[in-house]
Amino acid sequence: MRIARFTTGEDPMYGIVQEKDGQEMVYGITGDPLYTEIRPTGTIVPLEDVRLLAPVIPRSKVVCVGRNYAAHAAELGNEVPEQPLLFLKPNTAVIGPGDPIVLPSYSQEVSLEAELAVVIKRMAKDVEPEQASDVILGYTCANDLTARDAQREEDQWFRAKAFDTSCPIGPWIETDLGSSAASIGSSVDGEVAQAGSTADMVRTVSELIAEISRVVTLLPGDIILTGTPAGVRSVEAGSTIDVTIEGIGTLSNPVVRR
């Protein structure tokens, strides 16, 4: 099931994206998939007639995992850490499909990072790996934009990773995804940058949820970014970044500089 958050010019609402007679349609629902019961409204709108929004705006946190693909760690001259390298993005970093990525004024080297994002559906603490699937609502595409020059200059990654618009997600939440071996990639203006597979993760989604929930309590709507494959590259204002994950779809965002 594909759960979208969208607008037709009025208040944001949720819907289920399904194909009907060869056309993608959005079936409106009431309620919130994370917090309340959902029911169909009877509204059916062609997907092309809606504006997709970030499928979830976390009330709490975005937890990110660094160097979870060995080839990506190597391309930046790093070793794979013995424990997951964890850091946070604020919810103000989150934007949706089509929203502009605004390059921060203090950086001249912002890189894309295509990532599989996991959306948490209920409170979770000290989860065992074999129980991790019980706390997952679904998956979506994400782009962990990184100010690479700021990252090199500072031990803390706050300026490098937490700036506004640094976490595009979308286009929707896919609840039925075999996340262990999905192709994942990115492109800039149609030119391929990354081409990998989630099978290359050093630690699986279940292992990451277990480790993260040992450190912090996961809450409904929290997002976990699971790392990026090799091929990261800098992006410039005026370009468009596409992140594509097999079984989910494509997240596309333009890049601007103020």
What architecture (CATH level 2) is domain 2-52? Roll (2.30)
The pLDDT of residue 180: 79
Q: In CATH terms, are 2-52 and 62-257 the same topology?
A: no
pLDDT in tens, 162-176: 999 999 999 999 999
Q: Tell me the residue type at 144.
A: D
Distance CA(130)–CA(128), nearest Å, equals 6
- Select from 198, 152, 167 the least CA-distant residue to 88: 167
Q: Which fold has domain 62-257?
A: Fumarylacetoacetate hydrolase; domain 2 (3.90.850)
Preceding amide of 254 cis, omega within 30: no
Work out the mean pLDDT of the chain and round it to a whole number.
97
The pLDDT of residue 148: 97
Q: Which residues of the chain have pLDDT under 50?
A: none
What sections of 64-204 are H helices per DSSP? 70-75, 148-153, 158-161
Query: How much is the pTM?
Result: 0.97
The pLDDT of residue 258: 82
Structure-block tokens of residue 252: 């596309």
The pLDDT of residue 151: 96
Helix or strand (DSSP H, E) at 212:
helix 205-215
Q: Where are the domains of the chain?
A: 2-52, 62-257
The pLDDT of residue 10: 85
